[in-house]
Structure formats: structure tokens, C-alpha cells
Amino acid sequence: MLSVLSNPALLLAAEGEGGGVEFPPINLIVKWPAAFGDGQWYAFNKIALISMIGMLVPVILFWLAGRKASLVPKGIQNVMETSIDFVEDQIVLPAIGPDGMRYLPMLVSMFFFIWIGNLFEVIPTSHMPANARMANPLLLALTAWVMFIGVGLKHHKLGYLKEALFPPGVPKALYLLVTPIEFLSTFLIRPFSLAVRLFANMLAGHILLVTFSVLTITLMVLGPLVIVGGLSFAMLVAFTGFEFMVAFLQAFIFSLLTAVYIGGALHPAH
Amino acid sequence: MLAAVLVRLAEEDPTAINPVVPDEIGEIFWGAVAFFSLWILMRYWLLPPLMRIREQRRAKEIADLEAAEEARTAAVQVRRDYDATLAEARQRAAAVLEEARSAAEAERQAAVSAAETEAAARRQEAMAELEAARARAIAGMGDDVADLATTAASKVVEAPIDASAHRSTVDTYVEGNR
């Protein structure tokens, strides 16, 4: 319903007879029937399939890269080592530092899982990013939340909570105000904001592409408006390219913020 | 207006979902299976070979850099040795040249000196020979002069003059004009 409100075209469609263009309801564009286990906890639908592909693709790529790894990398090994370098140089080292290398497997997994899940937005015949549903963003955000709190408690025991809730250098009287804010922002809002940022971006992109797709088809069918339909198609192509970039960007931002939170828990004084 | 739209949408489609709420547990379950499997596989199976090879490459890079540095140092040393050898060779060549020049000069001096000595000896010898010839000529000339003088004197005095009697006078005169 919120996504409907975020898009004027869908609002127009909600007008009913007045608009003429029939946009699909939100249920139709994000909710998928189960292939098996319908109504059960193991219900397997399109999102579950994309999640499994999001796991299998990196597994296959990294397996192929590491199978005959040589000192002089070439082909797939070169590509996958470059991706490791990217996560290491752009995420782990700037956000955590050299002692963050132990979190590299988690962050590489997170980055690829989100990215491939997002790419299904622009893959023909799929056109559905897994992260336009709240399940995966919530799962990953909770994982990040457990990780950074766990890292903080493991390395600083209860001193982590003290550092997080009572930041040093703040006048004691202000703790009445600062401590509840820090508690809310660090322990409650962080995971929620992580999940919502990813989910909302991908859902908005998905609705945008659906909107322009429906608009293009409808305008093409209506003869006199075929020129406007061409413009709508051009916008659809442009937004598809944009979503291609967003898919990568959101995976990067999510992984980077997770690393920043872990780095903050590892070095709370900074 | 917003509330009105929401109410209207809800009235139109009472089954409309709230996309923020994860309503399919199966999606979370399979997402968790996929993500945690990927994490575990990445941690224990997929990343280690690539990380190992990266480490080996880094170690090799460091070793190669060190070897290159050593080779560079060795090359600098070789260059220094070469320059030193070259300088020494040049110095030696200059010394040999100087020595040869000195030897040649000495030899030339000796040759000149010998030639001069020989020339002086020959000159002296020639002078001696010249002197002897002159003496011989003068000696030969004394008789002729005496004959000529006595003949001339006998013509002047119109009387025969004994040449042998005045020979000593003529000889004394010739000797005095030599």
C-alpha cells in the first residue's frame, strides 16, 4: 500500500475508470505463489528461488576460480580475485581496518547475495528483485545487528554497551537525553534502517519499471499515443540501466554499513 | 486526502498487502538457508584457495622485489667495480704510455748523443786530416816558394843565388806567414 502511494501512476490507476490505464495491484507485482509448501514455513516461491540462485551463482563462480588457482590469475580467477580485492579495499579496510579481514567471508557473501538478488530486477523473464520483498533485507539486517553487537561484546565485554550508551566526553547531565537516543539509534533503528533502505530502494525501482512497462504497452496499443509510448519506452530503458546500477550500489551500501557497524563495535573509541 | 486514498484502496482491495511486513515465512527460511550456506561455504571452502594464492603471490612479490633490490645493488656494485677497473686500466695505460714515451725519449736522447759524439769524432778526425793535408801542402809548397823566391831574387839581383844557401830564410818566412 505504501508503494502504491509512492507512485503517482499507481494512484492514477487507483482512480479506476477515470485513468484508463490499468496498473497491476501491489500483490500482483511483489507476491508470488509457492511452487510447493504453500502456506507452510518452507513455502518455496520465486523469491526463495532467487535466493537459492543468489547462493549458487557465487558458489559456482568462486569454485571455478579457486579450482585451478594459479599465481598468475586469468579468466574467472582474475574476475573473482578482483571482486575480493574490491570488498577488501572498498569495504573491509576503510570501515574496519586490517583486523577486519576475518569478516571478509561474511561481507563477500553478503555483497554477492544482495547483488545477485537485486540483479533479478533487470534479468529478462524474471524482473523481480529478491530484495523488493522484506524477507531477505530483514534477515541480512538482523545478521548484521547480531554480528556487530556480538563483536562488541566479545571484544569489550560490557564495556561495549557502556561506550555505546554513554559516549565519553559528553556532560553527565546530557546522558539523560543522549543515552536513550543512542540506545534507539544503535540497537533498534540501525537494523531497521539497513533493511528498509535496501528493501525500499529495490521496491521503488521495481514499481518504477512496472509502471513504465505498463504505460509503454498501454500507450503502444492506443494508436494515437504511440509517440508518447516511445518516450515511455525510452524511459523504461533508461530506468532499467539505472536499476542495473542501483542493484550494485545497494549491495555495496548494505555491505559497507555492516562493516562500519562492525568496525564501530570493534573500535568503539573511534 | 492521504487517509481517504488509503481507505479507498483498502475498500477496493481488502487483500492488499503491506510490503514492509514480511508475510511469507518461507521466503525468510529459504533466504536464511541460502545466505548462511553461502557464508559457511565461503568461509571454509570457497575463499581459502583464493586467499592462499593471494598470500603466495604477495610473498612472491615481496621476494621478487627483494631479489630485484639485491640485483640492483649487485649491478651498482658491478658498475662500481667496472668503473674502478676501467679507471685503473686507463691509469695503467697512461703509465705505460708515459713509460714508453720516456723510454723513446731516452733512446732518442741516447741516439742523438751518440750521433753527436760520432759526428764530433768524425769532425775532429776530418779536422786532423785537414790539418795534416794542410801541413803537407805547406810543406810541399816551401820548396816551390823557395825555388820561386830564389829565382825571383836572382832575376832582381841579376846574379845566381844558391837556393840551398837561402833555404832556411825562405822556410822561416813561410813559417812566419802560416
Q: What's the pLDDT score for residue A19?
A: 52
- Contact present, A171 and A68 (Cβ < 8 Å): no
Which positions 91-130 of A are in contact with B (Cβ < 8 Å)? 104-106, 108-110, 112-113, 130
Exposed/middle/buried for B20, CB within 10 Å: 0-12, 13-18, 19+? Answer: middle
| Nearest Cα to Cα of residue A265 among A167, A170, A149 | A149
From CA B151, how far away is CA B145, in angstroms rounded? Answer: 10
pLDDT in tens, B11-27: 556 566 787 788 889 99
From CA A140, how far away is CA A256, in angstroms rounded? Answer: 13
The residue to which cell 816551390 is assigned: B144
Low-confidence ranges of chain B (pLDDT < 50): 1-3, 5-6
Q: What's the pLDDT score for residue A26?
A: 82
Q: What's the pLDDT score for residue B15?
A: 65
Q: Most A CBs within 10 Å: which of B42, B45, B52, as the mutation test of the A interface?
A: B42
| Residue A14 to residue B9, Cβ atoms within 8 A | yes
| Nearest Cα to Cα of residue A77 among B57, B117, B116 | B57
Low-confidence ranges of chain A (pLDDT < 50): 1-17
Residues of chain A in contact with residue B52, where contact means CB-CB under 8 angstroms, are: 69
Q: What's the pLDDT score for residue A11?
A: 40
The ipTM, to two decimals, is 0.89
Size of interface A-B (CB pairs under 8 A): 169
Q: What's the pLDDT score for residue A234?
A: 93
Q: What's the pLDDT score for residue A169?
A: 85
Chain A residue whose CA is closest to B41: A59
A59 in contact with B, Cβ within 8 Å = yes
> For chain B, how are helix, strand and coil distributed in percent, rounded to 5?
85, 0, 15
Chain A nearest CA to B7, separation (Å): 11
Q: A222: Cβ–Cβ under 8 A, 6 or more apart, which residues?
A: A229
Residues of chain A in contact with residue B2, where contact means CB-CB under 8 angstroms, are: 5
Q: What's the pLDDT score for residue A106?
A: 97
From CA B61, how far away is CA B53, in angstroms rounded? Answer: 12
Chain B nearest CA to A126, separation (Å): 17
Residues of chain B in contact with residue A81, where contact means CB-CB under 8 angstroms, are: 50, 54
Q: What's the pLDDT score for residue B126?
A: 92
Q: What's the pLDDT score for residue B178?
A: 60
